[in-house]
C-alpha cells in the first residue's frame, strides 16, 4: 500500500521513514568518506565507486484509500524528497481486502461502494453517558501503551 504520510497513532509515518533513509545515509556516507580522506562528492571521479545509500524508489500495489487517513500525502512527501514511486497494478482488490480486514465494518462498506453515510456503523465517541465516561476514567492505564490524552 502507498506509504502513509500521517499516522493516527502519532508514530513516524512510513513516507517520513523512507525519506530519513536517504538523509541519514547520505550524511553518514559523506562523513565516512571524508574521514578516510576520500572525495565526498557524489559526482564522477576516481572514487566514483561509492554509491548513494537509502531508498531511491518505492513500489506499491495500491494508493491509500480515504478509509485510513483522509487526503493521504505520502506520495507528495516522497516527490518533494526526490524519492521515485510506482504503483504496480493487478492486485488492488487483494491488497485492500487484507488491509481492510482490521477495520471492521469499513471493509464491507468499501466493497458495497460506500452506500449512504447513514448506513455505516461505527463508534461515536461523543455519545457516551456520563456514567460510562467516569467508569472509563477510573480504570488503570497501561503505562506501556502510548496514547494522546486531550481534554474535550
Full-prediction pTM beyond 0.85?
no
pLDDT value at 22 more than 50: yes
pLDDT value at 16 more than 60: yes
Render pLDDT for 102-124 as a digit per residue (tens, 0 to 9): 666 544 544 454 444 444 455 66
The pLDDT, as a whole number, for residue 113 is 47
Conformational region of residue 100, where left means phi above 0, alpha means psi within -120 to 50, and beta covers everything else? alpha
Least confident of 56-60, 80-84, 94-98, 144-148: 144-148
The pLDDT, as a whole number, for residue 105 is 54
Render pLDDT for 46-76 as a digit per residue (tens, 0 to 9): 444 555 688 999 998 888 766 555 556 888 8
The pLDDT, as a whole number, for residue 133 is 85
Rounded distance between C-alpha atoms, residue 100 and residue 29, angstroms:
39
Rounded distance between C-alpha atoms, residue 85 and residue 62, angstroms:
12
The pLDDT, as a whole number, for residue 123 is 62
Q: In this prediction, what percent of the chain has a pLDDT beyond 70? A: 55
Give the start-to-end residue ranges of the domains of the chain.
1-89, 90-121
Rounded distance between C-alpha atoms, residue 21 and residue 1, angstroms:
19
Are 39 and 65 in contact by the 8 Å Cβ rule? The answer is no
Rounded to the nearest integer, the mean pLDDT of the chain is: 71
Amino acid at each position: 500500500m502507498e506509504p502513509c504520510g500521517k499516522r493516527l497513532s502519532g508514530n513516524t509515518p512510513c513516507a517520513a521513514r523512507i525519506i530519513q533513509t536517504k538523509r541519514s545515509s547520505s550524511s553518514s556516507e559523506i562523513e565516512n568518506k571524508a574521514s578516510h580522506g576520500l572525495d565526498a562528492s557524489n559526482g564522477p571521479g576516481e572514487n566514483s565507486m561509492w554509491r548513494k545509500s537509502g531508498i531511491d524508489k518505492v513500489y506499491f500495489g495500491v494508493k491509500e484509500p480515504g478509509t485510513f487517513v483522509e487526503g493521504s500525502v505520502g506520495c507528495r512527501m516522497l516527490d518533494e524528497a526526490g524519492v521515485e514511486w510506482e504503483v504496480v497494478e493487478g492486485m488492488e482488490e487483494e491488497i485492500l481486502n487484507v488491509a481492510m480486514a482490521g477495520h471492521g465494518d469499513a471493509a464491507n462498506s468499501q466493497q458495497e461502494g460506500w452506500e449512504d453515510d447513514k448506513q455505516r456503523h461505527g463508534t461515536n465517541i461523543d455519545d457516551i453517558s456520563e456514567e460510562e465516561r467516569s467508569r472509563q476514567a477510573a480504570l488503570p492505564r497501561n503505562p506501556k501503551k502510548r496514547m494522546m490524552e486531550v481534554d474535550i
